[in-house]
Amino acid sequence: MEKKYFGTDGIRGTIGEYPMTPDFVLKLGWAAGKVLTGQGHPLVLIGKDPRISGYMLESALQAGLAAAGVNVRLLGPMPTPAVAYLTRTFRASAGIVISASHNPYDDNGVKFFGADGMKLSDALEARIEAYLERDLVTVRSKQLGRAVRIDDAAGRYIEFCKRALPNSVSLNGLRVVVDCANGATYHIAPNVFSELGAEVIAIGNQPNGLNINLECGATAVNQLRQTVLEYRADIGVALDGDGDRLIMVDHKGERVDGDEALAIIAGFRRNDALLKPGVVGTLMSNLGLEKAIQGMDVPFYRAKVGDRHVMAQMLAHDCVLGGEGSGHLIVRDHIPTGDGIVAALQILRVMIEQGRSLHESKQIMSKYPQALINVPVKRQLNLSQSKDIQDAVQQVESQLGERGRVLLRPSGTEPLIRVMVEGDNVTETQTLAEDIAGAVREAA
C-alpha cells in the first residue's frame, strides 16, 4: 500500500498547512491509539522539541489518544532518542515525538516508536493511515484515557546517556563546546558532559520556540567552530533540533561528519566480536568510509538513505554500528535509534583511551571528493530506461574504475534527480558529475 502521509521519518510539514493542523493531528492520535495499543488502558509517551507549535500539537495528540482510550505520559521537551529509551523503560505500547528534526521552527512533525523503541514498520504506518480514513469514534466516558506529566524524564535520560561510558572513563581535563541547536537537548546534553567531568561551554541552549536550528546545531557549525577556536576547546559537539544527529568539530575547527565518526568508532571496536558482522552506511556514504571499514576486515553494507533503512540493514546482518554522513549514528548495543549524545560519548572514549585528539583520530579514514548536482525534472524519469543516461554513467564508471563510484537517484521530496560522483581528484569528479547531469537534463 502506497502511503499518503508518512514520509521517511513520520509525518512532517508546515504548521497550519495540511496535514500539520490540529484537527488532523487529533485524528492521527486516535488512529495511532487504535493501531499501536491493546485492550484496557494502554500507555503511550509523548515528547517534543521546544518549537512553539509543539504545545498545540501535543494537546491535539493527547485528545486523540484519550478518545481512543489510551493513557498518556507527557515528557515535555525531550530528544527523540530519549523518547525511544523511555518508551521501553515505561513498558509503554508506543512513543510519539513531536519534532521536525533539523527543519526551521515553522515546520513540525509527528513520528512514532513501537514498544521496542524502534521506528514503525511500513505495514504499521499503512494501518494507521487506513484508520485515518475512518470516522473517529470516542470510547465511553469511563474508558477515556488519562494524561499525566512525568517530571523526572530528563534526569532518567541523563543517567542513561552517562552509562554509555564505562565507569573507568572520565572526561576530566577535556574542554567541550556543546551546541544544542536551541532544541530538545538544551537541558540535557550540557549536563551529561559536565557530570562526566568535562568543562562545558554550552551554546544554542536558549530555546524560545522560534530559534530552533537557526544558524546553529548540526546543520550550521560555523558558530560552533568559532567557539571551539575562541575557547581553545578540545572538541565541539553539534546536535540537531531533536538530538538524534551529531556533527563534530576538532580542536583546529575542522568539521567531522557522520562518516568520519562511524569510522572512528568502528576502528576502536575492530577487535570487538559484536562488530564482526559488519557496519552499515547508506548509498550516500563516502567511498573512503567503505574502504576504511573493509580495511579492518569488516563487511560494509549500504542501505537506502534514512535511518529507518539503516536500521533495517543492521537487523538483517546483525550489525551493532551504522549511520549516515549527515550524523545519524546508531550504536545498537546502547540504543536502537540514532542518538547524538551517545555517539559523541563513543568518540570521546576513543580519544581518551587512545590518547589522541579528534583531529588525529579522524585520519583513520581518507575522504574521497564528492560532487553532488541536483537536476530539476518536470516529469517522472525512468533512469534505467534512458540509453543516453546509462551510456553517460557507464562512460564515467569506466573512467573511474575502482577510484570512484556513481550514484543517481530521484529525490524523495522534490522534483529532482540527484547526481553524485566520487573520485580521488576534485576537478575530475566535478567534471564527470557535470557530464552525467547534462545527459539527465537532455533526457528530462
| Residues acting as catalytic residues | 101
Residue 22: left if φ>0, alpha if ψ -120 to 50, beta else—which one? Answer: alpha
Decide: 92 and 285 in contact? Cβ < 8 Å. Answer: no
Neighbouring CB atoms inside 10 A of 212's CB total 32
Which is nearest to 10 in space by CA: 84, 88, 90, 74?
A: 84
Cα gap 160→339, rounded to integer Å: 12
| Bridge partner list, 271 | none
Q: At what angle do helices 122-132 and 22-36 cross, to 10 degrees?
A: 120
